[in-house]
Amino acid sequence: MRRRTILDVAERAGVSVGTVSNALNRPEIVAEKTLASIQAAIDELHFVPSAAARQMTGARNPAIGLIVLDIGNPFFAEVYRGVEDVAGEAGYVVVVCSFAGDPAHERRQLRQLEEQRVAGILATRVGKGNSRVYGRMRKTGTPVVMLDQRSASKDQCSVSVDDVAGGRLAGEHLCELGHRRLALVNGPRDWSQCADRRTGFLAAAEAAGAQLLAGADIEAEQMTIDAGEEAARKLLAGEQLPTGIFCANDLLALGVEHALIAAGHRVPEDFAIVGYDDVAFATMAFVPLTSVRQPAYELGRRAAEQLLDEADDEKHKHERVVFAPELVVRASTGAAIDAAPDRSPIRA
């Protein structure tokens, strides 16, 4: 079936194309019965207007891009939910680009978004060599809001969480529990979030006189469960074993925990673990995970709001929102037993 155009509809309804266009966009100015016959024609012909043609005449593309590292990470899925709720409300569609850490892939996706003339972009990370692309987009009028990372300059919006504070929270918690031999399982340090968490963590450790063990300052390439398991094996192979481990996200932490337990160690008795993000699964883990919580959904909402405001409002004011992280203590640091009761025979 040939694709129908507005002209087909006009002919069928016996009116001009202008009138059909009006019926579509400003129905209030066209007469009742004209409207009815046009609607009938549209239905009969299964007409669906072309977004491309509409865009040609100056309309904005009601879509925004969301660039995330990995949508399989529940943290980003939650951020997405916040974005989607705001964008959907405003009639926008969200194009998720999950580039899995590959800068070339990211560049390709960005290019697509740029050609599509999306109304704006939410970036949770700027891959190596791609900051120029973002710069170009902003110059040509496509707003870019930094999500989960603070923008470097004042003339760009960002919604983030204080990662240095988050790292410190984790460090202080472990130190307060008496841990002096620490390990860090981090993600790529060229990602500002990871660098910041590390900074905060090290500061807390130093303040408490604890130290990061040599060889226990791991920088995993991916921030996944698998990478966490591998990191745990590395830790176990070290000369000296840590007792407190801070992981830069919950996926890594879950992997670390799983690998340690599989190797016959106990959590938290042998190793205390702190994760980051407080994803829903942290609660249900084999040993429920202590984690630094970020308000993911809210992060997504605020960022989307800022983006749409910048896209729509001529006199938009840039803003850099910073949320405070929050420590959620669970069994993996032994400081508390989560909702789940102890299952040892003693109590059974």
Partner DNA sequence: GCGGCACTATGAAGCGTTTCAAATTCTTGT
Partner DNA sequence: ACAAGAATTTGAAACGCTTCATAGTGCCGC
Residues that bind its own copies (CB under 8 A): 1, 3, 46, 48-56, 61-63, 71-72, 74, 77-78, 80-81, 84, 88, 93-98, 100, 105, 108-109, 111-112, 114-117, 136, 139-141, 225, 254, 257-258, 261-262, 264, 266, 280-281, 283-286, 288, 339-341, 343-346, 348
Stretch that binds DNA, among 13-21, 78-86, 278-286, 294-302 (CB under 7 A): 13-21
Give the separation between CA 247 and CA 289, rounded to whole angstroms: 11
The answer to whether 34 contacts DNA (rule: CB under 7 A) is yes
The answer to whether 45 contacts DNA (rule: CB under 7 A) is no
Of these partners, its own copies, DNA, none, which one is at the site of residue 258 (CB under 5 to 8 Å by kind)?
Answer: its own copies
Stretch that binds DNA, among 19-27, 236-244, 317-325, 337-345 (CB under 7 A): 19-27
Give the separation between CA 4 and CA 128, rounded to whole angstroms: 45
All residues at 6 or more sequence positions from 286 whose CB lies less than 8 Å from its CB, including other chains: 257, 258, 261
**Nearest 5°: phi and psi at 216?**
-115, 25
CB of 266: closest distance to its own copies in angstroms? 7
Residues contacting DNA: total by CB under 7 A: 28
Give the separation between CA 146 and CA 85, rounded to whole angstroms: 18
Of these partners, its own copies, DNA, none, which one is at the site of residue 16 (CB under 5 to 8 Å by kind)?
Answer: DNA
The answer to whether 1 contacts DNA (rule: CB under 7 A) is no
Give the separation between CA 126 and CA 107, rounded to whole angstroms: 10
**Nearest 5°: phi and psi at 263?**
-85, 5
Give the separation between CA 252 and CA 186, rounded to whole angstroms: 8
Angle between helices 32-45 and 6-13 (to 10 degrees): 120
Q: Which residues bind DNA (CB under 7 A)?
A: 3, 5-7, 15-22, 24-25, 29-32, 34, 47, 49-50, 53-54, 56-59
